[in-house]
Amino acid sequence: MRALAAAALLSACVSTSYLPQPSPGITITVKDGTAAFSKHGKVVQMGAFGKGLSAALADVPVAARHAEIWRQRNWMGIGLQIASLALTVTGFVLLQPSGGWSDRNFAALGLMGGGFGAGIGGLGVMLGGQSHLWDALNLYNDHVRKLRTSPGGVIVRW
């Protein structure tokens, strides 16, 4: 039983350090337990909420635009999550368990409900932005992997 529990705990610690072969596109790997992007075989530092990724995609404006939408939605989602925490904590502090159905308890429960709604909203905004990250990467990779003519006149596909 202990061996099974240890195996379950250790399986959560598994990650990869494999860096894909250099390519003109952007690839995804795991570095230090988080997603990392590589371009031309070098890891692209994400920076604060993906600013580095937006800069790496700047060659393809439509991809950079999707990356910027992803960044903005992450920021909005984080803001809503912080508001959710503030509303929930304030409601919890105002709550008086022995106060019955007082106006103060109604206000506290309203704040806690608003905090729950803000948290769900923040999660929805962040999840809605995630598709823009994948669109940005796919648009960039499609652009750089188009059919090209080699110096000898032969069409090559990367």
Residue 137 lies in a domain: yes
Residue 75, domain extent = 48-150
Burial class (CB in 10 A: 0-12, 13-18, 19+), 55: middle
Higher local confidence (pLDDT), 5 or 51:
51
Q: Is residue 79 situated within a structural domain?
A: yes
Number of structural domains, the chain?
Answer: 1
pLDDT digits (tens, 9 = 90+) for 72-126: 999 999 999 999 999 999 999 998 888 778 888 999 999 999 999 999 999 999 9
Distance CA 50, CA 68 (A): 8
**In contact, 111 and 52? CB cutoff 8 Å:** no
Query: Domain for residue 132, yes or no?
Result: yes
Structure tokens belonging to residue 138? 């796919």
59 inside domain: yes
Residue 2 is assigned to a structural domain of this protein: no
Beta-carbon neighbour count of residue 115 at 10 Å? 20
Whether 111 is in a domain gets the answer yes
91 domain residue, yes or no? yes
Which tens digit of pLDDT belongs to each residue from 2-40?
Answer: 655 555 555 555 555 666 677 778 888 777 777 778 887
